[in-house]
Every structure is written in structure tokens, then in C-alpha cells.
Amino acid sequence: MDALTTLLREAGYADLAFTSAPMEAEALARRAVEEGTEVILVAGGDGTLNEVVNGMAGSKARLGILPAGCRNVLAREIGIPADFEEAMGLIVAGKTRRIDLGRANQRYFAVMIGIGFDAAAVREAENNLRHLKKILRGYAYHLAGLRTILRFRVDSFPVEIDGAETLSGCAAVVANGHFYGGSHELVPGARIDDGVLDLCLFEKGGRLDYVRYFLGVLAGRHQGYPDVTIRRVTGVKIATAGLPIHVDGDFVGFTPVEVRVRPRALEIFAPATGE
């Protein structure tokens, strides 16, 4: 952290703040926006970035990312290098692009929202495997997924798409980009700046089904399963109550939930498309 602090000060970012509690990053970002800050840099993972995005929502501030989490899905999605000095070089170069955000009820997300099984796994990781996350890093979520398979059960629930069609499934992910859980491609055709979201709906909820989906996502085969539906959407509504939800990898509560896309809602330092 000392090396990072030195790097930031050398680049001219003298006003540094460190977080020590949940939601503190959101409050810091909101205060910075209210004070007229034009650039906010974040050294953290997708959960910390989600807080900052929610603090910046609706402002003209630009976001710079120094990846420091377990997965760094957003950074990977837009091509930000994992090395701090390279990431800072990208910010100093000043290239930006605008990306879409999703909004789940009142909370924005940059990467995804998960409803059902994977949200239950995130909750398991946060509640019961927190002490292992620093050791296992991203693999803590794999372990949480395996533990969740043994205990999570849910009946099929209706999923309303764009107010015009209703499907049903036992787990759903609404993604803003194509990466999931690190380098796994949940929806290969999804793009973070295409003005839409992508629904990946898993229709069955048996123990063996969850194992099959889990392994299928890891291997990139799930797209060919007849009981997995992928659709481009601008809105999704799940009225069923009590299903767990995660947003950008953090457990946030339970359904009902309404999800909408907010096109080009955030300006972010990133390589130009195609670099």
C-alpha cells in the first residue's frame, strides 16, 4: 500500500482516503462529487467499485481503476491492466470511454446482478468463508458454490422481460458485460457499452442441475444447454419475494427486484475500444 500511495502522490493525486467499513467508499465518492471532484480513482475490487459507482451516479466525474480485488471483473472487461503502474499510466494518458450501468431497484451495478443460486453462494462466501478469502482469493467463491449446491433449494420463479414476455427459471444473472467470476464468459456476445443488458436464465433447480450449470460455466459449455436461455434485454422484473440477490459480487438482500439499463452512464479511464 505504501508503494501505491507513493505512485498516486507522484501522479498528482494528493487527496487520499482509506476505507475501513462497508459503504464507506460510497459515502466518500458522494462527498467528493458534491465538492466538485472531477476524477475519482479507486484501488479495490468489484465490490468497492460498486460502492464508488453508486456514489458517483448522475455526476460528471470520471472514474479511474487500479485493480486490487479477487476477481477484478470490471477492470478485465474494459482492458485495464492488473499492474498498478500500467493502470496509472492509462489514467495519466487520459483516454476515456463511456460504459453502461444497470440499476437494480435503487442500486447501480457495473458488472452484473445475480438472483438465486449464485447470490446464495456469494452470501455463503461472505458469511462463512470470509476468513478464507484472503488465502483462497477467487477460489473461495468456487468453494462457496460447492457448499451452496448441498443446501440451496428454490422453486421456479417467473422472470418478466422488457414488460412483454415472461420466462421461468431457478437462477438468473443479468449481466452488463461478458465476463463472470473473473475470466469465465457467461455471455460471450455481451458488451459493456452496447446499450443493453444480457439475461442468462437457468431453468432447473435440482442438485445435479446446479452441478451441471456450475461446471458448464467453468468450461464455457452452458450456452449450448437446452435449459439455459440467453436474451438481450433492457429490463427484467422478478416479483417473487425472498430470493437472494448479489450486485457486482456483494450480497445486497432479497427480491422483488426490477432491473433496468442506463446507457452510457459512466465515464471511465480505459483503452479505446479495439486496443
pLDDT of residue 122: 84
Domains of the chain: residue spans and CATH:
2-100 (3.40.50.10330), 109-263 (2.60.200.40)
Higher pLDDT, 90 or 227: 227
pLDDT for 174 beyond 70: yes
Whether pLDDT at 113 is above 90:
yes
Mean pLDDT of 147-167: 90
CB proximity list for 242: less than 8 A, separation 6 or greater: 254, 255
pLDDT at 34 over 90: yes
Q: Angle at Cα 92 formed by Cα 175 and Cα 33, nearest 5°?
A: 60
More confident residue, 148 or 260: 260
Model confidence at 13, pLDDT cuts 50, 70, 90, reads low
Mean pLDDT across the chain, nearest whole number?
Answer: 88
pLDDT the model gives residue 85:
87
Determine the average pLDDT of the residues in 84-102: 91
Mean pLDDT within 190-201: 96
| pTM: predicted TM-score of the whole model, two decimal places | 0.89
Which cell goes with 46? Answer: 468489484
pLDDT band at 230 (very low <50, low <70, confident <90, very high): very high
> Per residue in 66-89, pLDDT tens?
998 778 899 999 999 998 889 988
- What pLDDT is attached to residue 69? 79
Identify the weakest region by mean pLDDT among 5-9, 51-55, 168-172, 246-250. 5-9
